[in-house]
Chains A and B, each alone.
Chain A
């Protein structure tokens, strides 16, 4: 287990460059177990890039990423997931040809013990494993109110439910840190309220730490304890929602510099 003081996730001076374009410059981030951190910034600030280096989609050009003190920099995405980090995507990436319950079941593949032969033989290990997975999948879907939809094709779900299913699928990998990439995008106000409740429930029930990328200030300010602001690939500010809201640099980044103030 984590010794007190070791952060759950630590990114140290991470940079990501594509040729001459710097997507991220010297970004450091620290998330403690069970924390809910919001990551905000204007379009193109590098929020998704930061997600991608944390989850192994890209390898940072410079810097180091530690998960519970262990270096995970540049590991393959599936390895990072197995170490306890799961994510959702900005544009929904469900497995379109699979039904809702199968989408959740895929998250258990990494933990399967029985080999291929066991699957083909339909042996004892296979049957007990399938049974466990089925039960746990059902429990998760029921907890998030998706049990009615279990056998529907994932594509046929309403938009908000698709987002929810993506979160359930990520949670099924039993992460200690869940990264949500714009979960409220495209949601109507009712769905957004529901999402806020959902995030609160995840923390209560599963104790999962959450890093949340979100454009919707109402959602972010309402639920996050701490905010990290990115602008043009660099850290601009960090602090409580109140502090960030009052920070002149943040206001400038979002609304533009205020000129002509020296008139007097």
Chain B
């Protein structure tokens, strides 16, 4: 992992461009991929964004957060309101279908706004609660996640418990895979810098970090806000992929699912976490045929994963294949 970090520091644009190239190619070949596979890829990409962004908070900075799904909800609802109500009202004479050029052109700002609103929410929650540690922080974030869910459930404007339907199907392979690549890149680039070592310093020893001049509260809030931003973007992508969102879809079980991905992938290993997110997405699909036994098998496989940790060892292996690695490095 250390060697690929050098590659990323020297020519980060290569890694990023390669990833976005893959997204473009996927989108162009979209016709060759059947709709089911397409949707699985979309879900995998969204889960990668969620897990890798939570990894910044949990894995790198060591803060246990149970409300990642709530940030996702904020992003999902914000962007769905924008594409469903605000934008068509502003530009009524244009054609608003998922693949229409107006929808595709406005989708990037829509996702970013969703991310920003989630980030602001993250700041509001994180500011006071990140002074707490460990179990206390977990409780506050759990409570906050429930507050968001209940608020949504009781707001008729966004459909209450029924949720919102008929959301513009604007999410495609390009946006989902593109943002997944961007998220993984951002997280790796962020952590592998002097600035980013601050996250890990806070995780390892908060008292020592403060004594070395690191504003630990600020570092924690920064991690939280960045994590919330990407969760918000993932929420936007999710809403515009499934075309239907309801408060129940963002409850704490969803947060737990993301936490499982982070732990499976290895805390503080973004590449491993991304692989774990993809594996769990696939696992969810494979187990569909088992109907009522699904959750039993799911739980068993998760336990097996925890013991064997395949993603954790796959991560460094894959990282070695990244471009720019010096072949003779020891």
Partner of A78, one of B13, B194, B205, B216: B216
> Given A97-B204, A97-B268, does the pair A78, B213 have CB atoms closer than 8 Å?
yes
> Given A98-B197, A106-B197, A112-B194, does the pair A122, B189 have CB atoms closer than 8 Å?
yes
Partner of B211, one of A77, A98, A126: A77
Q: How far, in angstroms, from A109 to B2 measured CA to CA in the complex?
A: 20
Per CB-CB distance, the 5 closest pairs between chain A and chain B, nearest first, are A110-B213, A93-B208, A81-B213, A77-B210, A95-B204
Interface of B is mostly: helix
Q: Which of A70-96 contact B (CB under 8 A)?
A: 76-78, 81-82, 86-87, 89, 93-96
Q: Which of A104-123 contact B (CB under 8 A)?
A: 105-112, 114, 116, 119-120, 122
Q: Is the CB of B12 within 8 A of A107?
A: no
Shortest distance between the CB of A156 and any CB in chain B (Å): 15
> Given A107-B212, A119-B189, does the pair A98, B194 have CB atoms closer than 8 Å?
no
> Given A86-B212, A97-B268, does the pair A109, B207 have CB atoms closer than 8 Å?
no
B203 within 8 A of A: yes
B201 within 8 A of A: yes
25 contacts between A and B (CB under 8 A): A76-B210, A78-B212, A78-B215, A78-B216, A81-B211, A81-B212, A89-B211, A93-B205, A93-B208, A93-B211, A94-B208, A97-B203, A98-B197, A98-B201, A102-B197, A102-B200, A106-B209, A109-B212, A109-B214, A110-B214, A111-B213, A114-B195, A119-B196, A120-B186, A122-B12
Q: Is the CB of B9 within 8 A of A109?
A: no
Q: Is the CB of A97 within 8 A of B194?
A: no
Q: How far, in angstroms, from A42 to B12 measured CA to CA in the complex?
A: 56
Q: Which of B282-318 contact A (CB under 8 A)?
A: none
A65 within 8 A of B: no
Q: Is the CB of B212 within 8 A of A170?
A: yes
Q: Is the CB of A133 within 8 A of B207?
A: no
Shortest distance between the CB of A67 and any CB in chain B (Å): 14
Shortest distance between the CB of B207 and any CB in chain A (Å): 6
A173 within 8 A of B: yes
What does the 1/0 interface line of B68-85 toward A look like (CB < 8 Å)? 000000000000000000
Q: Is the CB of A169 within 8 A of B194?
A: no
The interface residues of chain B lying within 8 Å CB-to-CB of A133 are: 194
The interface residues of chain A lying within 8 Å CB-to-CB of B209 are: 95, 106
Q: Is the CB of A109 within 8 A of B194?
A: yes
Q: Is the CB of A108 within 8 A of B194?
A: yes
Q: Is the CB of B204 within 8 A of A109?
A: no
Q: Which of B172-210 contact A (CB under 8 A)?
A: 186, 189-190, 193-198, 200-201, 203-205, 207-210
A130 within 8 A of B: yes
B222 within 8 A of A: yes
Q: Is the CB of A109 within 8 A of B195?
A: yes
Give residues in A with beta carbon < 8 Å to B. Answer: 55, 57, 76-78, 81-82, 86-87, 89, 93-98, 102, 105-112, 114, 116, 119-120, 122, 126, 129-130, 133, 151, 169-170, 173
Interface of A is mostly: helix
> Given A81-B211, A122-B189, A126-B193, does the pair A109, B198 have CB atoms closer than 8 Å?
yes
Interface size on B, residues (CB 8 A): 31
Residue of A nearest to B192 (CB): A119
Residue of A nearest to B205 (CB): A93
Residue of B nearest to A174 (CB): B213
Shortest distance between the CB of A153 and any CB in chain B (Å): 11
Q: Is the CB of B212 within 8 A of A106?
A: yes
The interface residues of chain B lying within 8 Å CB-to-CB of A76 are: 210, 215
Partner of B194, one of A81, A94, A105: A105
Shortest distance between the CB of A94 and any CB in chain B (Å): 7
Q: Is the CB of B200 within 8 A of A97?
A: yes
Partner of B214, one of A106, A120, A130: A106
Which has the most chain A C-beta neighbours within 10 Å: B194, B210, B214, B222? B194
Q: Is the CB of A109 within 8 A of B213?
A: yes
What does the 1/0 interface line of B2-34 toward A look like (CB < 8 Å)? 100000010011000000000000000000000
